[in-house]
Amino acid sequence: MKNLIILALIAFGGYQAWKKFEPDPGPELEPVSVSPLFDKPYVAVYGRDSCGFTQRLIQDLQASSVEYHYYIVDEKPVADRLHATMINQGMDVRRYNLPVVDVSGSLSIRPSATDVKIKL
C-alpha cells in the first residue's frame, strides 16, 4: 500500500511539472475580415514544396485539369492571409496539416482532388 501511495505521488508530481512547462497557447485570436481571393470560383492550394501531400494533390489536380493557384505557406504575407481565413472559419492555426485548400472561400485540410472538384 505504501508503494502505491508513493507511486501516485510521483505520478501526480510528474503531471504537475509537465503542465507547468506546457507551451502557452497565447491570446485568443479574433476573426478579421478576409475577402475571397478572386471574383470567380477558384482553387488555392497552400503548402510547401517539400510536403509530399501538397505535391501529390497538385499532381492530381493537374491530371484532372483543375486550374489552381499555389501559395507557399512559409512566406509571411501568405501565412498571415491563410491564418486570418482559418480563424474566420473556426480552425486552429497553431498546428495544422498541409495542404490547406481554399475552394472559393471554403477551406479544407488535406482534401483529395476529387473532393476539390466536387466543391468547385
Tell me: the pLDDT tens digits for 81-116?
Answer: 999 889 888 888 888 899 999 998 889 999 999 999
Residue 97 lies in a domain: yes
Residue 62 lies in a domain: yes
- Report the CATH number at residue 86: 3.40.30.10
- The domain of 47 spans 37-119
Residue 5 lies in a domain: no
pLDDT tens for 9-59 read 787 777 777 666 655 444 455 555 567 777 889 999 999 999 999 999 999
CA–CA distance, 98 with 100 (Å, rounded to integer): 5
Q: Is the pTM of this model over 0.85?
A: no
pLDDT of residue 18: 66
CA–CA distance, 40 with 9 (Å, rounded to integer): 61
Look at the chain and report how many structural domains it folds into: 1
Residue 112 lies in a domain: yes
Residue 7 lies in a domain: no
pLDDT of residue 34: 66
Residue 60 has pLDDT above 90, yes or no: yes
Instruction: Mention every residue, 6+ apart, whose C-beta is less than 8 A from residue 53.
Output: 47, 97, 98, 99, 110
Among residues 34, 45, 33, 32, which one has the least CA distance to residue 120?
45
67-90 burial: b if 16+ Cβ within 10 Å, else e: ebeebebeeeeeeebbbebbbeee
Residue 102 lies in a domain: yes
Residue 69 lies in a domain: yes
